[in-house]
Structure 1
Amino acid sequence: MSMKNRPSKPWYKVWWVWLIIVVVVFSVIGVSGENSGSSSSSSDSSSTQTHSTPKKESSQKASASVSSESNSKIPNEYKNALKSAQTYADTMHMSKRAIYDQLKSKHGDQFSAKAAYYGATHLKNVDWNKNALKSARTYDKEMHMSPNAIHDQLTSEYGDKFTQSQADYAVSQLGK
């Protein structure tokens, strides 16, 4: 089979795309951690803030969701899983199940199943319908997929892993 006739995979099914996404997410987490933990001069922090305002907001949400629990006996691994889960929900608009799978994946965050479950189930202020809609809009605008294909991708075991009702909502809101 020649290379010309070989069908190409969609961008979201190529392994290196996901590797890049994971690296970017960890970079965001690292940058936001440096911003919140440092007390450097105001000129350094102001230049950093101009580049990382959206990233910083998502890390602040993650910190806020853990802050009420920080004084309790929750293991650090669980707190870190929750912070990572909040970042995935806020910046990548992932479904709860996709977040859980990413957190426990040996190719992802490598948290224990219990820590991943804690992270995915203790998220605060996440509108899963809104996340599904944002993903659906990406498929519609950037990949020019049909509504049926978008619905299938949103609910697929190998795709976004949203629930049927979340996918139904997203597809119904696409034209609005």
Structure 2
Amino acid sequence: MKCRAGIAWECEGYINRYLEECGINCDSITPQMMAAPFFKGRLVALVIPTGFANKMYSGLLPALCASENRIRKFVEKGGKVISFGAMSENEEAYKWLPFCTKYVHEYFGSPIKIDCNSPFSEIMEDFNIENIECDGYFTDFDEQTDVIAQTKEGKAIMIGKKYGEGYFIVTSIHEFPSRSFIRNFCTGEAEILF
């Protein structure tokens, strides 16, 4: 089994350290690298940290949009993508995904319900799910989109969609994912060309 993730951001940061502490080999993928046709990383998963669409934190969104086809091909071949909250009201924040959703940016803490039948249900395994911090929620997605976690009021805070051989996960949970979740998410039979 291979355990490797690409972290999409301008520089190494807290998420890189956390994943490395979880035993995951990490590659930093800057916006310039992501959009460059000559970049040929081999990954199991791509991690897009919180704040990627907020210009105060990141310049990643234009690279995600420019790399839309590359990301889709990666997932079709078995790669996995997890995107954390955009932290922006920008309606283009998730246009690079192969499915529609709308992100409502709003900070709140809430008890959550997790679909225990989902292979991604262990995301908050290390936490008390009676008060999880979130930076928003998702609306306007189709019936084929899996709601993996939601607030007690029914706000979707983690959705996923199978795409080809891989999977897209989008979450507004404003916490590090559990160690077992991120290890499993970033582990696969083979590294996929990005």
- TM-score of the superposed pair, with normalisation by structure 1: 0.24
Q: Which has the higher strand share?
A: 2
Q: Which has the higher helix share?
A: 1
Larger Rg: 1
